[in-house]
Structure 1
């Protein structure tokens, strides 16, 4: 059992976090989407420790985080479409699934044995500073027990993974609040997971519509594809406009004003995404394992697609 350090995003704290990574230990750090659980993506033992700490199935690939395009190009082969998306959305909340270079040096555990790698260049200044301080690629899924609500604050990480990992860098609340959008480009551009970049913006950049992923893949080729995910302990009901007595209601928009938890009283999807996981945690504490969380309808557009994707997985049978 580890005594998990809570580090500040100072030069001293980042240096200590980078040393933990260099010595094969795990460090949680903020990105603009959610907190990630980082380990050296080249170190088999470190990557195996990520799966063990989260209780994550080893067939579920990880995202590799890099600080700049030159680091990304050493790991993956970029097509013209991939370069266009990277130029438009990196650094930012977009993950690209690309062919992995034979000489990438990545642990095969990162890609779950697949010939592709999921790669992202985060925009959060703390994440970027850590990547530069460490000087190598960092594999980092969300810093929470597998299948549970993703963390958007340092205390969420400590609640879920404290005593399993070496350190958490406290960078405050995450700005976007839902994980990155994941796009695959072979054989055609495909939305593998909706997320922090609206699919419409990606389609505008490419000039073609994104294909839908296989609804039931034999094995995941990107994170976030398991049917039950992001789940609180309480049951979750979706599209509820009139909650039952005893429900803990998460509202959306001005008509949900009586709810103590409202993702956005003004109906702002950006605000709703930023609040989603924090409010799910708060509702779960109020409901308890035998209670029910009722969630108001969310528009299926823009960031609403990512919010609804997370909610459907949170409500799925477990």
Structure 2
């Protein structure tokens, strides 16, 4: 549904309450949502995506006031404290920040991979928040695509991912941020970064102080991941993708190569296809264009995609993370 009306939103909300799935836009990527309090509905997400049950989901709320319904704020470590959470919520919600907190009993184990924690955020997209508000339930939602593949940033990407199995899709146009939310764990004595994303770590540290940035490259097979997006291979196109730390990489002579460049490069003309993420080298623009550019190169009949990597600061850290996991096979 393009530019959904109130009637469309209400119909989608009713579908969520009845145990169905709805794909909806957020500022980061499109999500595949189900009633987070309905285990059977949430099971439908895992089935449609082909997602392993050990990869937990993020719970989406329409307002921070509902946080106590899904998180046990009385169990927050003393070293973290409620005041820090309030400061983070006040500055970054609604927005692309997910907080990992002690789980409330109402949240079923299938949402959290039976971990005692829950990942939760308030999205900064009017359609997402209207949908969640109308449904009257928290909404569990990973990205609306097949597991391990490139995340969707348009409604068409969602439709292409699921073909004839496509769920109801609310079309909100292209996603503004373009990479998933930053995931910050607040269950230990110090805040810990589990996934870089749409909020830069440097911005978070203005409130939290130093954040532990030891990002695991992979999780043990079949053991619950601490956060979505932590598996070694993720976000991957069908076409092999290779990273290059060169400012001006060259294509392989014996293969049809495409270039995914985060900023302009002098060797772009040597490649069979080019996707430039930002003509000015702006990291926010590059992040917003990342997944759509990967998808276009994946459909260009290439043997290999070579990607240049931005510096690991600001949103460059999130872009690096997505490219590294897309290159892992």
Shorter chain as denominator, the TM-score bin is: over 0.9
1:272 to 276, 286, 290: 286
Q: 2: distance between equivalents of 1:264 and 1:70?
A: 37
Distance verdict in 2 for CA 1:214–1:262, change over 3 Å: closer
Does 1:243 pair with 2:251?
A: yes
The alpha-carbon deviation at position 214 of structure 1 amounts to 4.1
Distance verdict in 2 for CA 1:166–1:261, change over 3 Å: closer
Alignment size in residue pairs = 308
Does 1:182 pair with 2:183?
A: yes
1:56 to 51, 74, 92: 51
Please say if residues 190 and 210 of structure 1, whose CA atoms lie closer than 8 Å, have aligned partners that are also in contact.
yes
Q: How does 1:1-318 map to 2 (within 5 A)?
A: 6=1, 8-78=3-73, 79-80=81-82, 81-102=84-105, 105-187=106-188, 188-218=190-220, 219-239=224-244, 241-245=249-253, 246-255=256-265, 258=269, 260-288=274-302, 291-317=303-329
Q: 1: distance between equivalents of 2:306 and 2:210?
A: 36
Q: Name the structure 2 match of 1:3.
A: none
The alpha-carbon deviation at position 296 of structure 1 amounts to 1.9
Q: TM-score, normalised by structure 2?
A: 0.90
Please say if residues 7 and 13 of structure 1, whose CA atoms lie closer than 8 Å, have aligned partners that are also in contact.
no
Please say if residues 21 and 44 of structure 2, whose CA atoms lie closer than 8 Å, have aligned partners that are also in contact.
yes
The one-character-per-residue Cα deviations of 1:162-201 (angstroms, maximum 9, x if unpaired) are 3334300000000000000000012121100000000111
Q: 2: distance between equivalents of 1:270 and 1:214?
A: 24
Please say if residues 17 and 137 of structure 2, whose CA atoms lie closer than 8 Å, have aligned partners that are also in contact.
no
Please say if residues 217 and 231 of structure 2, whose CA atoms lie closer than 8 Å, have aligned partners that are also in contact.
no
Deviates more, 1:181-190 or 1:225-234: 181-190
The one-character-per-residue Cα deviations of 1:191-227 (angstroms, maximum 9, x if unpaired) are 0000000011111111223342444444301100000
In structure 2, the gaps of 5 or more residues are 74-80
Q: 2: distance between equivalents of 1:165 and 1:114?
A: 30
C-alpha RMSD of matched pairs (Å) = 1.5
Please say if residues 40 and 47 of structure 1, whose CA atoms lie closer than 8 Å, have aligned partners that are also in contact.
yes
Q: TM-score, normalised by structure 1?
A: 0.93
Please say if residues 176 and 273 of structure 1, whose CA atoms lie closer than 8 Å, have aligned partners that are also in contact.
yes
Please say if residues 101 and 119 of structure 2, whose CA atoms lie closer than 8 Å, have aligned partners that are also in contact.
yes
Q: 1: distance between equivalents of 2:146 and 2:323?
A: 17
